[in-house]
Structure 1
């Protein structure tokens, strides 16, 4: 499996994020049910943003990860101020891969 760290950038007090969050969580819930989402959640330091870890087949690239995450309502509705997607190697992990 290939893992990707998806970092979302948005203001902690974003009303737009708050309004779209239920759709975003439904989207991620579907990915979780498919075994794609490993973990996700907002940062808790008061600065906004979130981290999502996804796993895709061994042949997947960062571009494949971006295409998948382009379907997130946060992205579709322009609620993010930025997004970074980077390949990630979980050398120590509990994922069982």
Structure 2
């Protein structure tokens, strides 16, 4: 398993993003239930969000984002993906 920190940068269409957000959050809840989404949440200034995933690889992330309601709505201007090597803390990778 690999851990990825993913930053979403929201686009300018706030009305569409807010309309799609309930479906997006329901989708994220299914990822939590499956054990692939470790944590997520928007920045306080609502310009984007941080999501942390534990998946087999970036191919899994591509599928996850393809299925996210935010994707067809076009409300994310940029997605920054970083494989993350955590070394300390309570959210260390599962073995």
Give the TM-score normalised by structure 2.
0.85
Match of 2:38 in 1: 38
Match of 1:51 in 2: 50
Q: CA RMSD in A?
A: 1.8
Match of 1:69 in 2: 65
Within 2, Cα distance between the matches of 1:70 and 1:29?
16
Distance 1:47 1:68, change over 3 A: closer
CA deviation after TM superposition for structure 1 residue 76, in Å: 2.4
Q: Is the 8 A contact 1:12 1:49 kept in 2?
A: no
Question: After alignment, is 11-20 or 76-85 more displaced?
Answer: 11-20
Distance 1:41 1:12, change over 3 A: farther
Q: Is the 8 A contact 1:39 1:52 kept in 2?
A: yes
**2:76 matched to 1:80?**
yes
Greater per-residue helix proportion: 2
Match of 1:24 in 2: 24
Give the TM-score normalised by structure 1.
0.84
Structure 2: segments with no counterpart, 5+ residues: none
Within 1, Cα distance between the matches of 2:40 and 2:91?
14
